[in-house]
Amino acid sequence: MQRNLQFSLSTLLLAATAALAPAQARREICFPDLPGRVTLVCDFHMHSVFSDGQVWPTVRVDEAWRLGLDAIALTDHIEYQPHRDDVPTNHDRPYALARERALQRGILLPMGTEITRDTPPGHFNAIFLDSVVPLDTKDLFTTFEQANAQRAFTFWNHHDWKGEQRGSWLEVHTQLHERGLLHGMEVVNGSVYYPRAHQWCLDKGLTMIGNSDIHEPDRGEASTSAAHRSVTLVFAEERSLPALRDALFAGRTVVWFGNTLIGKREWLAPLFAASVRVDGPYLRTDKHVFVGLENTSDVDFVLAREGNVGPAALTLAAGTKTLVKIAVKDPKAALTLAYTATNLWIAPQQGMAVQIEIPGQ
Amino acid sequence: MQRNLQFSLSTLLLAATAALAPAQARREICFPDLPGRVTLVCDFHMHSVFSDGQVWPTVRVDEAWRLGLDAIALTDHIEYQPHRDDVPTNHDRPYALARERALQRGILLPMGTEITRDTPPGHFNAIFLDSVVPLDTKDLFTTFEQANAQRAFTFWNHHDWKGEQRGSWLEVHTQLHERGLLHGMEVVNGSVYYPRAHQWCLDKGLTMIGNSDIHEPDRGEASTSAAHRSVTLVFAEERSLPALRDALFAGRTVVWFGNTLIGKREWLAPLFAASVRVDGPYLRTDKHVFVGLENTSDVDFVLAREGNVGPAALTLAAGTKTLVKIAVKDPKAALTLAYTATNLWIAPQQGMAVQIEIPGQ
Amino acid sequence: MQRNLQFSLSTLLLAATAALAPAQARREICFPDLPGRVTLVCDFHMHSVFSDGQVWPTVRVDEAWRLGLDAIALTDHIEYQPHRDDVPTNHDRPYALARERALQRGILLPMGTEITRDTPPGHFNAIFLDSVVPLDTKDLFTTFEQANAQRAFTFWNHHDWKGEQRGSWLEVHTQLHERGLLHGMEVVNGSVYYPRAHQWCLDKGLTMIGNSDIHEPDRGEASTSAAHRSVTLVFAEERSLPALRDALFAGRTVVWFGNTLIGKREWLAPLFAASVRVDGPYLRTDKHVFVGLENTSDVDFVLAREGNVGPAALTLAAGTKTLVKIAVKDPKAALTLAYTATNLWIAPQQGMAVQIEIPGQ
Amino acid sequence: MQRNLQFSLSTLLLAATAALAPAQARREICFPDLPGRVTLVCDFHMHSVFSDGQVWPTVRVDEAWRLGLDAIALTDHIEYQPHRDDVPTNHDRPYALARERALQRGILLPMGTEITRDTPPGHFNAIFLDSVVPLDTKDLFTTFEQANAQRAFTFWNHHDWKGEQRGSWLEVHTQLHERGLLHGMEVVNGSVYYPRAHQWCLDKGLTMIGNSDIHEPDRGEASTSAAHRSVTLVFAEERSLPALRDALFAGRTVVWFGNTLIGKREWLAPLFAASVRVDGPYLRTDKHVFVGLENTSDVDFVLAREGNVGPAALTLAAGTKTLVKIAVKDPKAALTLAYTATNLWIAPQQGMAVQIEIPGQ
């Protein structure tokens, strides 16, 4: 009997040990790959003690591993360095300190920085740099030319922040865009969504980006909708820095913001299709068909019926299988569930039409 | 109006929050299928108000859906019916009440019962019955013959419970076994593991079974190791009642108990192999190789090193990828990590040798 | 060293054991007593297998203990008994089965029932009965007279459910009210709030009630806002059945619904005052005062500034202390924070003015 | 419009959800004050980027607020500064950077440092310094004399770490102790308990200390046993730095480690008594008394029966009320429950005798 007790103890012990959640454990964020593409979860905007952040650069790599991110960029401010008295300016140093740790974990780490000017013109990130130093100039256009000379991908951050002319597309932005120096915009920064930025990306062919802009330590653990970083899903040809850069220049992105996905139908449609799986039908009665709809992604799909088949509202929670009872006339016939996915936005606040096919008998 | 809107938002917030945990959502238990087999998660021992349980029979089906179980059996006591004054005895009724609901959800529901005698001989379950009624006899052997006449699968429950001769293999058990009337044993019942039952299964060729024996409502939600029902993993040729019965008679089972898996090496070895995936190596330095070990199952694998390669102790937590730093002499060579999986028991208290192969360059 | 290991093990073990949450553990719901009154958390509407519920009556008592409820009433339908074939009608039986278990736990258990008529007139509960049997009559007024003859407290349930005339105050309701046979209304039933019922309670002097109307097993554990039952807070002179009845007839109630409290200012104002405690000020600088605001209750207070002192919006989360930085002209002066508590409703969707006093130096 | 509204709801939902966990929310750790004393929860060992830590000094203050700590000391290494190339040595700077933030939150922040020598003699903390700079000397005794000249409280850290002579009490320690330069020892450092240090504290009159020694960001949120920092409970005459120092010199401490409290009976006994409250008895039958035992502290009390009254084993989980059924001969008599609290250690591995009095009728 004593032995028995010991067995139970060791079993319980494991649960306790697991509860301590070892530093090296990573929980993957779940979004399916698209046909011929690898889905990379990316955060291209964050800070360390080398500008106004509160953590050592390597902490950002540890967070990326733990949270299931595939690529991050450290983007300390060039012009704003409130810790300068204690941490002397050294633009390329955050990347240098974090690089080995990223390689050890297979985290893609393009070198980045934040170009930090009063508004207008505002703040911009440049990533995939060889060195930040040449960007530390007075003239904005020189800075952008230096970034582009390094083949960097650049985007306009949180355009609605701050100052009197915040939120406006001005002459300077037109010039940056027309001269091919600016390639994307943050549609989402942290907990804020920018509908105008969303529309401008559609109108001007800019790549949609979503980032955390995190300054504090990240206490998150779960990859669930409830509490995740705002990130960019990038559909790359392979898991590599060159492929990641190519995909950004090609605009192959979707932004994951709270429980909303924002992007072009071109990417959202196959992402939805690859995420939802029909199980069953389990039973066909005279009047009903019972089916399971499995959502393998980390976003809840919030669906509003467009046709007349299926429940009026339907939420497919992340990582679960939902039982659906469908009123039918012919239980043996194939069915098409036609819905609007209200939280997949193909334009500001505009949901996307989706269909789910239920096989017949 | 602004304020009114805020009010309704907080109200709607409620509804939305509630909607995130809909009654019909199922979270799958994660164990991989084996080559040529479907892994079915099964609980063959539970009670309803029709004996000494506290819930209506359909509740057990709802729980099974929510918790990710594939097959359950309602096994109300034949001889012990403390609610008889309010719920008159009706042996086949729990199954009849639950059947339609199980069909709607694709839950396999063999008809079952618990033969409830003083110890010795103790309690036994019979599942895959056509009717419980013929088993309600005085004579134990008649009861077992009736069960076997219906081609039922029978097993001895919690053999160490209760009375003076509890826990002993007696003449009556030898007779049941030798006459082919008894086919399995509970190695685990609820929170108790029985090492002697484990050994008898190995010695006598009985099928190893693990069940919840739940009487109260199940409040569980998670499928994680921390708090799951004791269940039996059955490796069936397909998801069907006949295939499930065949697999039980063939002894193709593993018991999931706390954070321990109990079974024959024949089934545990491929289950481990199919659960663990090597990612990387990410980096090879002069002295180290960095690799990710992903565990896609719902059990933490607790590994103790047998060879001299890899960390001395290694826990691969359920559903996570663990970063492992391996000291090496030749970073380009292929590596074999030789460990004992201390919580995969191929005999009482005895872990199983496992190997993980890391590719070379 | 071996010993050391054992120490850590036993420590960890405890955490694991605690995680299993023993059946007999109760977590109190936190709302302060009011001056001269005991705050009792009550749910007066729930079902068992004796009507259309899914659990044995004792389960409701176990739930009450675990969830921190002080009083419950089992209110099985008189007229609707879908389990009748298996559980023959026996109106007083659910109470009889649950009574001893309630006494053992100090749970107040008034005998109750649900009078279940087509709409109109709808459904009503009667609690504090001596026997349900006399209420099983055809004539609604006879039923109400029988209830009142037993000095029962009666209230109209979910008035907006169901049928063509649902949601209307009709002649029958006027008669019940004017003859003193009807004493309260559900302002909240489960996840639904009824603004019209709220207004009628104010206009007609009916007691405001909030209940769960639970039919399934309750899987809840936490007493936090995120997921609690809809309940009624009753301010009684002592913890006893007579005092509870007196308080209900006197209308001393507040309904806890999601993260909203609904009631008269007479009760909400002292409840807020007794829940919020000022800690500090910690620091007074030239321009700011830093203070901690502790909310000891289980509801988050969501505050919108009415004056010009303090942050524009302020949420005092349940069970936490919130750091507040207040811009001031004179850091030594006493301050009054004037806010509207947007989730304390003194009329439909109407928040309540509150003040928090910060002492001067 | 309807659809637009739904969109903004889901967006606002996000904001609302985020608002539920605001950065400035603090959850108090629950241990009662003792008669005439204030119980302060303290962590006197932690690091920032100014030595080998990974966070900016202010992060430690934010963590203290959030986690419910009352006092912390930043104790960056004097001799070990691996970030020196990027963060030049400046011993008094971490304190200077964190001080204002601590004042704003009412967190007591004695200035501290870690004296970091090879073993022997090992590492030591000095707290309540005026300046760290004078301690940066070659000679260990000079360093200790400088600390004591500033009236600092000093203690030996993790004595079992590291080197050949680790874990030994040597001549140097005798000298430090006999000359009154050393005042306490870490009985607990992070996840490790030191039984020898525990015994030495008892034998030599050293103050028992428990600390986190945290280097990484603290991701914790809960104050529950499952996952809290190792800390020291200090019983001070008031919430102030001088009173905190006095209490440390007077040895008025208990260490909270996992689910274990370690200290002298003098402090553990009143702490237990103030934490446990008897509710009831609810019911007295012929053979049993039913009572609720409420544990208002954040530690689970794990009790083993010494007498013959009450259950053999009894766990009073943190923050809950446990239902206890006591077999009695005379249900009206007063009862004494005599137990050993197995996780209140008054010496290495030695539990403490406790009694709980149940009133008679």
Residues of chain C positioned with their CB less than 8 A from the CB of B17: 226-227, 258
Cβ neighbors of C254 (< 8 A, separation 6 or more) are C208, C232, C233, C235, C261, C262, C263, C267, C268, C271
Minimal C-alpha gap between B190 and chain A (Å): 11
Q: For A5-21, how does the pLDDT look when each residue is reduced to its tens digit (9 = 90+)?
A: 333 333 333 333 333 33
Of A161-170, A315-324, B246-255, minimum mean pLDDT range:
A161-170
Distance CA C244, CA D340 (A): 40
Most confidently predicted of B2-6, C158-162, D163-167: C158-162
Q: How large a percentage of chain D has pLDDT more than 70?
A: 92
Region B57-64 average pLDDT: 97
Q: Which chains pack against A, by 3+ Cβ pairs within 8 A?
A: B, C, D
pLDDT at residue D20 tops 50: no
Residue B32: DSSP 8-state? P
pLDDT at residue D225 tops 60: no
Minimal C-alpha gap between C302 and chain A (Å): 19
Q: From the CB of residue A286, how many other CB atoms can be counted at a distance below 10 Å? A: 8
User: What pLDDT score was predicted for residue A167?
Assistant: 87
What 3-state DSSP class applies to B12?
Answer: helix
User: What pLDDT score was predicted for residue D23?
Assistant: 54
Q: A8, A24, A109: best mutation site toward chain B, by most B Cβ within 10 Å?
A: A24
Average pLDDT of every residue of chain B: 92
Region D148-167 average pLDDT: 92
Q: Is A3 exposed, middle or buried (0-12, 13-18, 19+ CB in 10 A)?
A: exposed
Using CB atoms, pick whichever of C59, C191, C216 lies closest to residue B54: C59
Note whether D10 contacts A59, CB cutoff 8 Å.
Answer: no
Q: For B92-145, how does the pLDDT look when each residue is reduced to its tens digit (9 = 90+)?
A: 999 999 999 999 999 999 999 999 998 789 999 999 999 999 999 999 999 999
User: What pLDDT score was predicted for residue D221?
Assistant: 59
User: What pLDDT score was predicted for residue A165?
Assistant: 85
Residues of chain B positioned with their CB less than 8 A from the CB of A325: 104
pLDDT at residue C292 tops 60: yes
Residues of chain A positioned with their CB less than 8 A from the CB of D218: 217
Residues of chain D positioned with their CB less than 8 A from the CB of B10: 16
Q: How large a percentage of chain B has pLDDT more than 70?
A: 92
Residues of chain C positioned with their CB less than 8 A from the CB of B220: 219
Query: Confidence class of residue D226 from pLDDT cuts 50, 70 and 90?
Result: low
Chain A interface with C: residues with Cβ < 8 Å: 9, 12-13, 15-17, 19-20
Closest residue in D to C100 (Cα–Cα): D283
Q: Contact at 8 Å (CB) between D154 and D184?
A: yes
Distance CA D128, CA D209 (A): 15
CB pairs under 8 A between B and D: 11
Q: Is B308 exposed, middle or buried (0-12, 13-18, 19+ CB in 10 A)?
A: exposed
The tokens for B223 are: 């499928």
Residues of chain D positioned with their CB less than 8 A from the CB of A226: 17
What 3-state DSSP class applies to D98?
Answer: helix
pLDDT at residue C199 tops 90: yes
Note whether C4 contacts D193, CB cutoff 8 Å.
Answer: yes
User: What pLDDT score was predicted for residue B21?
Assistant: 37
pLDDT at residue B15 tops 70: no
Q: D30, D194, D297, D321: best mutation site toward chain C, by most C Cβ within 10 Å?
A: D321
Minimal C-alpha gap between C16 and chain A (Å): 5
Q: For C94-143, how does the pLDDT look when each residue is reduced to its tens digit (9 = 90+)?
A: 999 999 999 999 999 999 999 999 878 999 999 999 999 999 999 999 99
Query: Confidence class of residue C10 from pLDDT cuts 50, 70 and 90?
Result: very low
Q: Looking at the DSSP assignment, which residues form a beta bridge with residue A184?
A: A155, A207
Q: What is the interface pTM, i.e. ipTM, of the complex?
A: 0.91
Note whether C343 contacts B227, CB cutoff 8 Å.
Answer: no
Note whether C19 contacts D226, CB cutoff 8 Å.
Answer: yes
User: What pLDDT score was predicted for residue C221?
Assistant: 59
User: What pLDDT score was predicted for residue C22?
Assistant: 44
User: What pLDDT score was predicted for residue C17?
Assistant: 36
Minimal C-alpha gap between B17 and chain D (Å): 9
Helix (H) or strand (E) holding A102: helix A93-105
Minimal C-alpha gap between C19 and chain A (Å): 9
Query: Confidence class of residue B23 from pLDDT cuts 50, 70 and 90?
Result: low
Region A332-355 average pLDDT: 97
pLDDT at residue D33 tops 80: yes
Of A90-99, C11-20, D32-41, D292-301, minimum mean pLDDT range:
C11-20
Distance CA B15, CA C349 (A): 16
Using CB atoms, pick whichever of A11, A18, A294 lies closest to residue B317: A18
Helix (H) or strand (E) holding C217: none
The tokens for B188 are: 């685990």
Of A2-6, D76-80, D347-351, minimum mean pLDDT range:
A2-6
Distance CA D59, CA C1 (A): 34
Q: For A195-249, how does the pLDDT look when each residue is reduced to its tens digit (9 = 90+)?
A: 999 999 999 999 999 999 999 999 875 444 457 999 999 999 999 999 999 999 9
CB pairs under 8 A between A and D: 94
Predicted TM-score (pTM) of the model is: 0.93
Distance CA C102, CA C90 (A): 20
Q: C17, C24, C27, C49: best mutation site toward chain B, by most B Cβ within 10 Å?
A: C49
A99, B61, B274 from B338: Cα distances, Å: 31, 42, 17
Q: A12, A14, A17, A20: best mutation site toward chain C, by most C Cβ within 10 Å?
A: A12
Query: Confidence class of residue B22 from pLDDT cuts 50, 70 and 90?
Result: very low
Please give the single-letter amino acid code of residue B234: V
Residue C52: DSSP 8-state? T
Residues of chain C positioned with their CB less than 8 A from the CB of A5: none
- D195 Rama class: left (phi>0) / alpha (psi -120 to 50) / beta: alpha
User: What pLDDT score was predicted for residue C16?
Assistant: 35
Q: B55, B67, B215: best mutation site toward chain C, by most C Cβ within 10 Å?
A: B55
**Range list of β-strands (E), chain D:** 25-26, 38-43, 71-72, 112-116, 123-127, 153-156, 184-189, 192-193, 207-211, 231-236, 253-257, 260-263, 276-284, 288-295, 301-305, 313-316, 320-327, 335-341, 344-345, 352-358
Note whether C26 contacts D322, CB cutoff 8 Å.
Answer: yes
Using CB atoms, pick whichever of D105, D257, D260 lies closest to residue C282: D105
Minimal C-alpha gap between A267 and chain D (Å): 20
Minimal C-alpha gap between B237 and chain A (Å): 18
pLDDT at residue D1 tops 60: no
- C280 Rama class: left (phi>0) / alpha (psi -120 to 50) / beta: left
Of A189-193, A320-324, D221-225, minimum mean pLDDT range:
D221-225
Q: For C19-58, how does the pLDDT look when each residue is reduced to its tens digit (9 = 90+)?
A: 333 458 999 999 999 999 999 999 999 999 999 999 999 9
Residues of chain B positioned with their CB less than 8 A from the CB of C260: 10-11, 14
Note whether B283 contacts A104, CB cutoff 8 Å.
Answer: yes
Q: Name the CA dihedral angle for B282, B284, B290, B291, rounded to a multiple of 10 degrees.
A: 50
CA torsion sign for B213, B217, B221, B227 is negative
Q: D1, D3, D5, D7: best mutation site toward chain A, by most A Cβ within 10 Å?
A: D7
Query: Confidence class of residue B221 from pLDDT cuts 50, 70 and 90?
Result: low
Note whether A18 contacts B315, CB cutoff 8 Å.
Answer: yes
Q: For A111-139, how does the pLDDT look when each residue is reduced to its tens digit (9 = 90+)?
A: 999 999 987 899 999 999 999 999 999 99
Using CB atoms, pick whichever of B3, B15, B217 lies closest to residue C217: B217
pLDDT at residue A90 tops 70: yes
Residues of chain B positioned with their CB less than 8 A from the CB of C220: 219
Average pLDDT of every residue of chain D: 92
Cβ neighbors of C335 (< 8 A, separation 6 or more) are C289, C309, C310, C326, C328, C357, C358, C360
Q: Contact at 8 Å (CB) between B304 and B340?
A: yes
Cis, bond preceding C162 (omega within 30 deg of 0): yes
Chain centre to alpha carbon of residue C175: 28
Chain centre to alpha carbon of residue C209: 8
User: What pLDDT score was predicted for residue D119?
Assistant: 78
Q: Is D190 exposed, middle or buried (0-12, 13-18, 19+ CB in 10 A)?
A: middle
